Amino acid sequence: MIKLFLPNEYVDSIFDISPEKLKNQGIKAIITDLDNTLVEWDRKNATPRLMEWIESMQKNEILVTIVSNNNQLRVAAFSDPIGVPFIYNARKPMGRAFRRAIKDMKVKTEETVVIGDQLLTDVLGGNRNNLYTILVVPVAKTDGFFTRINRMIERRLLKFFKRKNMIQWEDKQ
Q: Where are the domains of the chain?
A: 2-163
Give the predicted TM-score (pTM) of the model: 0.88
pLDDT tops 70 at residue 144: no
Contact by Cβ (8 Å): 150, 118: yes
Distance CA 115, CA 16 (A): 12
- For 49-96, the pLDDT digits (tens) are 999 999 999 999 999 999 999 999 999 999 999 999 999 999 999 999
CATH class belonging to 2-163: alpha beta
Going by pLDDT thresholds of 50, 70 and 90, the confidence category of residue 140 is confident
